[in-house]
Amino acid sequence: MVQGMGFVTAIYHGLTPVIESSTLFQSFTRVLVDSKSGFAKYKIVLKDGQTVGYEDVMLWKWLLYARGTASQGALELNILSNSRIRANASFIGTIQVAKNPCDDAVAESTYDSAAGSYATGASVSGYTSYASGTYSLKWTKAGVSSVPLLMFALPHHLQSFDATTNQRKSSIQLQTTTKGLATAILSDSWVMNEPDLPVSMGFAPWNPIFKNEPNYSASAIQVIAIAATSEVSQDMSGQTNLNSMYFSGKALSKFATIVYTIHDIMKDSALANAGLTRLKDAFAVFAENRQKYPLVYESAWKGIVSTAAYVTGEWGADFGNAYYNDHHFHWGYFIHAAAIIGYLDPSWLDANRDWVNTLIRDGLYESADGKDEESSSEDALFAYATKMWGKTSGDKSMEARGNVMLSILSRSLQNYFLLESSNQNQPSKFIANKVTGIVRGFRIIRLTLATRFNTFRGMSILSYMLFLKKWRRAHDVRIHMIPINPSSALTRTRNFVREEWEKYFDNGRVDRIDDGFKGILYANLAIADPASAWKFFSQNNFQSHWLDGGASRAWYLAYAAGVVISMNA
């Protein structure tokens, strides 16, 4: 099994092939038999199309290719019932099955030319040249080596194909479960280009259109300083040394951003250094593994996991960290904090380099529906943090990988997750939601875990049901926003942010929200309307409970002001 494979391939070593289908066979026809080469081709028609009227069904055609040995001759298959096909003898060789949309002759010819080879794995490689990135997928294959490989590409792949790969597109398109139409490519490798890498993005507020670092006015710095001075004096140890790696990381990243704001935007070295000292102490708790649930090496999947599940007996403790769930979400915050600390104090790097590099290695865990993605923004944070850690630590290759990852994520998230009205990949009725909830390999769940487990905690069933219809969609969007950082404007376009705001929050609707979600919304609004965001965060009666636990008013002010300045530059 290789994701994107053009055929479903079964390899037989002496068993008698049996093919069964829960969808009834309409017909089964032998098209070609070549006993000398051991090759056979069949057409199968299933009643698996869409119903037209009351009883009529559009029939879809499937192709079956069997390639055995010359000594045993071609495979003979017989239909025994409308749900069962069986060979007349044992078989050594391969059977490949493919769906031919609308019984298209050109598509069938393409399948014919690719039958006999199949993918067994793939490797990824790439390189960059300043702001231009190129990456390739090269498959290892088995079967008939002279036959080109047929693999399906998703829409975001097609958008970035180089000229040579683009010429190898076929007419075959099949509907995926969650990512639009997939197109079959007749090639053993693909080459893709990302021509506008975010190389100018740093720790400061950043805009993909203007890209220049902001030059703050004295009056803006004065407002930012009031918030930053208050926030940097908070109990860093108390807010960061928690029983959750996820929430601890969020707090460390927040305080790192505050210290950066004080140092680089306010230019207050004394206050920044005092905050940095306390931040390094808070970070050391984790680098030295002194937190409540230390990290351990897990030998089965060979990665680093939290001991929370082992101690508590709850497999889902800390969002399933022990099972590698959301590792890049969790570790991204730590990597981001480390990148800022190392930037402000390069002497700190050597003692912490190995620990941070370890976190950058991602983990795996099994899921019945494939790996899921709930927070597109925290996915982007991991790529951004990787880029910035590479820059801070002097690892140019890591920095380049981070830039390429960010560009690919920007493209893919805008295709499948962050749904502008012009989106062509998700169902038209779904696009109106503006964001997906949780995207798995085989399905999309509209309601996110964050909404289910946080927004409605403690409600009665009746209250839950009444509240659910009105608020669940609006609350789902926040998990795709946090944390607002320089990469946010790359993945979340101004037009998308504007559409989302008009869908859920304009005309005073945002003012009905009275918790940390409100601050997230206004910080996100800064991408499209930074002046309104600045007005909200700079108001005299700003309430601290409008900030999420991983959010900083000082950073939100700096971000909004920075985007305003870059837009007006």
Tokens (6 digits) for 197: 């890498």
d(CA 267, CA 29): 78
Sign of CA dihedral 462, 463, 469, 472: negative
Q: Return the amino acid letter for 458.
A: G
Residue 4 Rama label (left phi>0; alpha psi -120 to 50; beta): left
User: 3-state class of 342 per DSSP?
Assistant: helix
**Angstrom distances, CA of residue 1 to CA of 121, 189, 372, 381, 554:** 9, 17, 19, 31, 49
**Angstrom distances, CA of residue 161 to CA of 153, 418, 494:** 10, 22, 26
Q: Pick the catalytic residue: 213, 378, 476, 529? A: 378
Buried b (16+ CB within 10 A) or exposed e, 48-64: bbeeeeeeeeeebbbbb
Q: Pick the catalytic residue: 194, 213, 326, 476? A: 326
d(CA 201, CA 506): 30
HSE-CB at 291 with a 13 A cutoff on CA atoms is: 29
Alpha-carbon Rg for the chain, nearest whole angstrom, is: 27
Contact 190, 149 (CB under 8 A): no
**How many beta carbons lie within 10 A of that of residue 151, not counting itself?**
28
378 is catalytic: yes
374 is catalytic: yes
Q: Pick the catalytic residue: 188, 194, 318, 374? A: 374
314 is catalytic: no
d(CA 250, CA 335): 11
d(CA 569, CA 567): 6
| Percent composition of the chain: helix, strand, coil (DSSP 3-state, to 5) | 45, 20, 35
Catalytic residues: 326, 374, 378
